[in-house]
Structure 1
Amino acid sequence: MNARFTEALLTAERPLIMEVKRRDAHGIDLIAGRTPADIVAAYEAAGAPCISVVTGRWFGGTPQLLADVARLTELPLLQKDFFTRREQLSAAVELGASAVLLTAALLPASAMRTMVTGALRAGLTPFVEITSESELAAVPHADECVIAVNNKDITARERDAGDIGRSLDLLPALRAAGTPCPVSASAIDSPQTARLLLDAGYRGLLVGTALLRTRDLNAWPTVAA
């Protein structure tokens, strides 16, 4: 297993997985005239330990976007898309990913085992997104995965406001499952919400829309302040 993605988060001063995506769940442009190079440079200056790149079509992404970001940075990259087949994992490696999103809501238990095992064998960190304890129970090799609570509803294409309480409620279960790096993802709309989650014990946060809209990345919290 390539643990570079996990280690980068666990040792980060500002443990935010900062995201590159072209539009939000409602189709609104988030790039606003910038280039991927502009965004990556700003993230690096703010101390991003990892970058998430959304290649899924819902958010205007393409595989080329990941390849472009990979040429711009040495930071570990998470590819966010709907991974359901093992051949997608080798493509992710070729594009420059260090981790891949595996969405529990889309994968039956047998498929989850196949995809987690395949990712680990390919040298990728499985970034497994769950919304309930039953989904968490189906995750194999949890001690080798980053497990993230999605605070939004994928069945509504993440167009809902989200529920940070889900992350707070599920954190003890994530710890018990053995993941070294519990993450809260989506609906983290302000530095104050991020602070709440870090203080609760999350080791990483995945933030997309709010960071792409912020005027001051350095206003977002660090683990020490």
Structure 2
Amino acid sequence: MSIHLVGGGWPDVTDGAVYRRFFDEVEAHAVSAGVLEGARLVVVLVRDHDGPEKYAELVAYYSQFTQLDPVAVLAPENAPIDPTALAGADGIVVWGGLTPAYRVSLEPAFLEIRRLVASGVPYLGFSAGAALAAERAIVGGWRIGGVEVAPEEANEELDEVTVEQGIGLIDLAVDVHGTQWGTVTRLLAATEAGAVDGGVAIDEHTALIVGDGPLAVVGRGSVWKATPDGGSVRVSTAGSDDPGA
């Protein structure tokens, strides 16, 4: 089973490649567990005001991929999530919103998410959920030492670029909305400053899939990789390796 990291972008009918492998894994996990009436998909949203509406939209979209028994885990921003809400999951989705608020809400469940993923439950992080999958998570900010390194609109209500403990599913830092929000430069600057030891910035409508085999990229955009290189930062990109993307 794999960790699927989506860089953002509201799903639409052309995004099947981004989500198909995840739901194949969710279905396989349910079958192996003897589930006959729909895979138990836990959907986590940490949002003020519109959580129920976004949940309903997501479930309607996701249901095209496989039969589901969805479970809503909804919390207002910064409210703690009970880890027992994840029990019995065949798949976990952590959606998007304000990344620092997701981190606060999810922190009580970090250990349980790691345990479930280690046991074979596939994880899909979208936007905030992708950023927080990292051991050291970039949660926001647009300046380092007062110097602008990304558009202010990408600040997540933080001034200085902020790196905090994440869920710990992967050891690379993850930034999201790469090209669309201009956060590639935030990742590069954080790497150069030593705040993170390299990482990836994922475009919208694009997923990086981390599993037992080689890393895979699916979707419309690119994954930008930053690697420390003797005082500088080396940048490379990868696009979709799925012919159907």
Considering fraction of residues, name the structure with more strand: 2
**Structure with the greater alpha carbon radius of gyration:** 2
Considering fraction of residues, name the structure with more helix: 1
Smaller-chain TM-score bracket: 0.3 to 0.5
